[in-house]
Amino acid sequence: MRLKVLGSAAGGGFPQWNCNYRLSRDVRNGVQGFRARTQSSLGVSADGRDWIVFNASPDIREQIAATRELQPREDGPLRASPIQAVILTNADVDHIAGLLSLRERHRFVVYATARVLRVLAENSIFNVLDSELVERRELSLNIPTPITDWQGRPTSIVVEAFPVPGKVALFLEDAGKAEEGFGTQEGDTVGVRIRQEGHDGAVLYVPGCAAVDADLKERISAAACLLFDGTVYTDDEMQSAGVGTKTGRRMGHLHIGGPGGSMDLLADVAPKRRIYVHINNTNPILDENSPEAAAVRAGGWEIGYDGMEIGP
């Protein structure tokens, strides 16, 4: 199984279009130790030919342009794409807006939980994906689902979606239900366990996660590789950067550093390969030379970047 990080940044990307915080400025200025990053997405393939894209980011066009494997094969038909399926882990803008760029009459399948499929159904702009060509299939929770293409041909990739502590998409928050997670329900945010049929070594992809519960801990301890929510390093990072008022927790993202952070909470279960993805443009680990990046590396974690390859 091959995995490729297509986009390692959180919503907004890095640099973010309207951000003048020091990190966005430094990456714009080409300062050593910085890399630009597109928004959150992962490509997975069993055979290197057929690909499944986890989360369709607003940067998907750029991501395809940067990834030869996702482009039409030279010996292929006049209109074609190696992308057989798109799997969504929530309905945030950074994970679904790219579906709009996948129109143009390509046949593929969208897999998501009932909650996320409902968001697509309720927003008629997604009808640009002609339902005759793009089937939407429900991903049941806690059941391994063999992913097949539009014709029902197996891709050899099996995906199990499992609920994680999180939050309903920002644009669907119900302010009247602030005490109850702004109306968040099970299936709004999931992690996925990805494996190739007949092979050991499952990968867990959890780009959004607000807390570590016993179920998640157990799943992580059984995985060979973890790609995990690296949105913020400290919970109050947006405030101390002066760019916002929300904490990581308020956004549905567990911070990385310090007591109660993901490095701390996962120290005793983390698989050999563990990688932070969905990194926000305020996170100091975006500076390779920062003490926070050094601390993450010392904790045995890797810092995801666009084009990063994992496997076989």
Binding site residues, Mn ion, CB under 5 A = 10-11, 92, 94
* Residue from 84, 82, 87 nearest 41 by CA: 87
| Pair 2, 302: CB distance under 8 Å | no
| Pair 55, 94: CB distance under 8 Å | yes
Interaction partner, residue 93 (Mn ion, ligand MLT, none; CB < 5-8 Å by kind): ligand MLT
Interaction partner, residue 251 (Mn ion, ligand MLT, none; CB < 5-8 Å by kind): ligand MLT
Q: Which residue is nearest to ligand MLT (CB)?
A: 11
Helices (H), 108-156: 114-122
Q: Does 94 bind ligand MLT (CB under 6 A)?
A: yes
Q: Which residue's CB is nearer to ligand MLT, number 140 or number 240?
A: 240
Q: Does 287 bind ligand MLT (CB under 6 A)?
A: no
Q: Which residue's CB is nearer to Mn ion, number 106 or number 249?
A: 249
The dihedral through the CA atoms of 172, 173, 175, 177 has a sign that is positive
Exposed, middle or buried, 115 (CB in 10 Å: 0-12/13-18/19+)?
A: buried
Q: Identify the residue among 251, 263, 270, 286 touching ligand MLT (CB under 6 A).
A: 251
Give the Å distances, CA to CA, from 16 to 42, 59, 77, 169, 276.
20, 12, 37, 19, 19
Task: For residue 45, give both structure tokens.
Answer: 């393939």
Interaction partner, residue 308 (Mn ion, ligand MLT, none; CB < 5-8 Å by kind): none
Q: Which residue's CB is nearer to Mn ion, number 119 or number 158?
A: 119
Q: Which residue's CB is nearer to Mn ion, number 1 or number 226?
A: 226
Q: Identify the residue among 7, 11, 58, 230 touching ligand MLT (CB under 6 A).
A: 11
Which residues does 189 contact at the CB level (< 8 Å), separation at least 6? 89, 90, 163, 164, 165, 166, 167, 208, 209, 210, 252
Q: Identify the residue among 1, 10, 52, 134 touching ligand MLT (CB under 6 A).
A: 10
Q: Which residue's CB is nearer to Mn ion, number 7 or number 11?
A: 11
Minimum separation from the CB atom of position 166 to ligand MLT (A): 9
Minimum separation from the CB atom of position 264 to ligand MLT (A): 21
Contact characters 140-179, ligand MLT, x per CB under 6 A: ------------------------------x---------
Interaction partner, residue 7 (ligand MLT, Mn ion, none; CB < 5-8 Å by kind): none
Instruction: Give the SS3 label for residue 291.
Output: helix
Q: Does 248 bind ligand MLT (CB under 6 A)?
A: no
The dihedral through the CA atoms of 250, 253, 256, 259 has a sign that is positive
Which residues does 250 contact at the CB level (< 8 Å), separation at least 6? none
Distance between CA atoms of 270 and 204, rounded to whole angstroms?
11
Q: Does 93 bind ligand MLT (CB under 6 A)?
A: yes
> Count residues contacting ligand MLT (CB under 6 A)?
9
DSSP 112: E
- Contact residues toward ligand MLT (CB under 6 A) are 10-11, 92-94, 170, 208, 251-252
